[in-house]
């Protein structure tokens, strides 16, 4: 086999493999908090849950740092747990949300300047678990 043909075959096989790996990696990339706002079902449920807090910029934009999303089961229901905080002020402004795509609802706990509040009117067992999830996410050992 000539050198040119050998080079062509190597390139010809390498390109499709690298393209396939790239698209697989992209398909599994975790979402950034702000990307959820592009989904109409989430955005509607989130803004409804926020109520008057939807005027708070860091909550409305969701553009701060965020740990990776997780699936969790709380009070027998499965949720996507999404956490995020305010840019350059995670110690004083952070949130943990539970989103149910099936029910199109959001529950959450928001921590601002030493005070926590719930959004979305979570049932008591969910509220209790939200507090525990927030402590684990934002006040446990260094991330």
pLDDT in tens, the chain (143 residues): 444 444 444 444 444 433 333 333 344 567 788 898 999 999 999 999 999 999 999 999 998 999 999 999 999 999 999 999 999 999 999 999 999 999 999 999 999 999 999 999 999 999 999 999 999 999 885 65
pTM (two decimals): 0.77
Helix boundaries (H) for the chain: 3-27, 40-50, 57-61, 124-138
Residue 112 phi/psi, 5-degree rounding, is -135, 120
So what's the pLDDT on residue 6? 44
Helix boundaries (H) for 28-123: 40-50, 57-61
> 137: closest CA among 74, 89, 95?
95
CA distance 66 to 60: 15
């Amino acid at each position: 086999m000539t050198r040119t043909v050998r080079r062509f075959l190597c390139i010809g096989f390498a390109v499709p493999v690298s393209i396939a790996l790239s698209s697989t990696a992209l398909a599994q990339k975790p979402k950034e908090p702000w990307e959820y706002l592009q989904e109409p079902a989430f955005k509607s449920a989130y803004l409804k849950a926020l109520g008057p807090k939807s005027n708070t910029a860091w909550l409305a934009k969701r553009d701060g740092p965020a740990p990776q999303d997780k699936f969790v089961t709380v009070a027998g229901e499965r949720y996507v747990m999404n956490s995020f905080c305010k840019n350059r002020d995670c110690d004083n402004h952070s949130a943990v949300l539970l989103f149910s795509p099936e029910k199109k609802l959001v529950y959450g706990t928001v921590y601002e300047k030493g005070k926590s509040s719930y959004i979305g009117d979570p049932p008591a067992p969910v509220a209790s678990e939200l507090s525990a999830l927030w402590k684990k996410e934002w006040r446990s050992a260094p991330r």
